[in-house]
Amino acid sequence: MSKALVSRDNLVRLTASEAREALTAGDVTSADLVGAYIARIGARDAEVGAWTHFDAERALAAARESDAKRARGEAMPPLAGIPVGVKDVVDTKDFPTELGSEVFAGRQPSQDAFVVTALKAAGAIIPGKTVTTELAFFGPGKTRNPHDLERTPGGSSSGSAAAVADDQVALALGTQTAGSVIRPASYCGVIGFKPTFGYTSRTGVLAQSPPLDTIGGYARSVEDIALLFDCISDYDANDSDMTDEAKPSLLAALKSSELHAPRFAFVKTPAWPQGDDGMRATFEQFASRFGIAEVPLPPEFDEILRLQQIVQFSDIARNYGPIADANPDRVSAKLKEIIAEGRTFSEANYAAARKKQTALYDALRPILATCDAILTPASQGVAPIGLGSTGSPMFNGLWTYLEMPCISLPLLDIGGLPVGVQLVGARGDDARLLRAAAWMMEKRS
């Protein structure tokens, strides 16, 4: 990469892969890169509010240490010298992890989450923690949408999505239990990826609904998503939902000589009627432009949105109920409302909803056999005006419930605001999903 392409003015706009190339070539130092991000955050943080904790001095010290290792000729890991934002539900021993709740103000973990340990082993610099909604649910934080400060950035991974969208960091971690990665990606106009359930460890991460909770991430290129998840997805025996099966390299899959034009199936989920008129019209035009035919879901999918809620809300009642009971004046009314609803579901309701996860996925297999990825909306439309809510996860929760990998691509624009295109893959076929996503990003023009 030419030094002319890595001037101080555009350092913050480099993808992580481009930054890695520039660092390797000696065209830029990590201190230069981190310094540019610090300046960007200093100029924008008061308006966007993506960070709940940020330590410029610590980040610069880590950058200089990385540069010194490179200068000594040491072998450099894949993310050496590159900053990565971490959502404030993921434990960090260097920063408080306050879970977006005043109940946990000042909470300081004694050790890093598994994925943070993996990031550090990969050479990444952790400059701070990004804003989450209250306990990664609906109660909004301070973050605003960089495209329109009067609109929500989505939730619950609000700060991570906004930070990447606003060129404050090239990579960031999020989590998803319903739509907490994909929806903010759609609203903020970045790439958001939620892998197959169990793909990445959740040890040291807030547990909301363990059968659904998944680590996700944000970037500005599909290649960066592959780079990030290749670094953080090693097996962790302490997370019982992971398997020790070897994972193929996502980066290698993207670079495979066997890449071909993917097959897609356009699916309108039970949430489709609740989408904005503009989104539905724009989405249908997009599918038509690519020649992607609509494929109907089987009728048993009519209840899937409620089934996901039964699992999530029951677990919220179980895991967050004691917190709310002990701190009734320090949790939101919305959270208390959902806890109350979750307590209305019996163990039999919960068990039945869990059992149907497998049955409904099996009912989807005939569609998956005909395509490389499902094409479906990432959100109901553009980010809603107002900061009192974070929008609806109705277009995402069913895929999380089915444990399937999903990615939102910033391919649509309505009235000058971004709307994501969601691609959904078969369980365990994350590499094929990313290949389909990379192809669509290349063909977008």
CATH number of residue 344's parent domain: 3.90.1300.10
User: CA 235 to CA 150: how far, in whole Å?
Assistant: 41
Q: Is 74 among the domain residues?
A: yes
Residues 88 and 186 in one domain: yes
Q: What is the pLDDT of residue 5?
A: 56
User: CA 182 to CA 356: how far, in whole Å?
Assistant: 23
Residues 154 and 102 in one domain: yes
258-to-261, 330, 406, 439 alpha-carbon distances in Å: 10, 54, 22, 12
Q: Provide the H-helix boundaries in 166-259.
A: 182-188, 222-232, 250-254
Q: What is the pLDDT of residue 364?
A: 98
Please tell me which residue in 30, 87, 209, 356 is annotated as part of the active site: 87
Q: Is 242 among the domain residues?
A: no
Does residue 268 carry a catalytic annotation? Answer: no
Contacts of 121 (CB under 8 A, 6+ apart): 77, 231
User: CA 432 to CA 70: how far, in whole Å?
Assistant: 34
Q: Is 17 among the domain residues?
A: yes
Specify whether the CB–CB gap between 154 and 183 falls below 8 A: yes
Contacts of 159 (CB under 8 A, 6+ apart): 49, 50, 51, 52, 85, 87, 88, 129, 130, 131, 132, 141, 143, 153, 172
DSSP string, 374-424: EEEESSSSSPPB-SS-----TTTHHHHHTT--EEEEEEEEETTEEEEEEEE
Specify whether the CB–CB gap between 92 and 129 falls below 8 A: yes
Residues 8 and 146 in one domain: yes
Give the strand pairing for 406-414 and 191-194. antiparallel
Which 8-state DSSP code applies to residue 124? -
Residues 286 and 169 in one domain: no
Q: Is 122 among the domain residues?
A: yes
Please tell me which residue in 30, 156, 209, 314 is annotated as part of the active site: 156
Please tell me which residue in 180, 221, 314, 392 is annotated as part of the active site: 180
Residues 412 and 268 in one domain: yes
Residues 286 and 354 in one domain: yes
The dihedral through the CA atoms of 216, 222, 224, 227 has a sign that is positive
Q: What is the pLDDT of residue 4?
A: 47
Residue with tokens 């670094």: 231
Specify whether the CB–CB gap between 147 and 48 falls below 8 A: no
Does residue 389 carry a catalytic annotation? Answer: no
Q: Is 40 among the domain residues?
A: yes
User: CA 19 to CA 147: how far, in whole Å?
Assistant: 24
* Number of separate domains in the chain: 2
The tens place of each residue's pLDDT in the chain, 445 residues long, gives 545 456 666 999 999 999 999 999 999 999 999 999 999 999 999 999 999 999 999 999 999 999 999 999 999 999 999 999 999 999 999 999 999 999 999 999 999 999 999 999 999 999 999 999 999 999 999 999 999 999 999 999 999 999 999 999 999 999 999 999 999 999 999 999 999 999 999 999 999 999 999 999 999 999 999 999 999 999 999 999 999 999 999 999 998 866 678 999 999 999 999 999 999 999 999 999 999 999 999 999 999 999 999 999 999 999 999 999 999 999 999 999 999 999 999 999 999 999 999 999 999 999 999 999 999 999 999 999 999 999 999 999 999 999 999 999 999 999 999 999 999 999 999 999 999 999 999 987 6
Q: What is the pLDDT of residue 3?
A: 52
Which segments within 90-167 are labelled E, that is strand? Answer: 128-130
Q: Exposed, middle or buried by CB within 10 Å (0-12, 13-18, 19+), for 284? A: middle
Residues 205 and 308 in one domain: no
Q: Is 269 among the domain residues?
A: yes
Residues 195 and 315 in one domain: no
Q: What is the pLDDT of residue 256?
A: 81
The amino acid at 421? V
The domain in which residue 165 lies consists of 3-234+247-254
Specify whether the CB–CB gap between 210 and 61 falls below 8 A: no
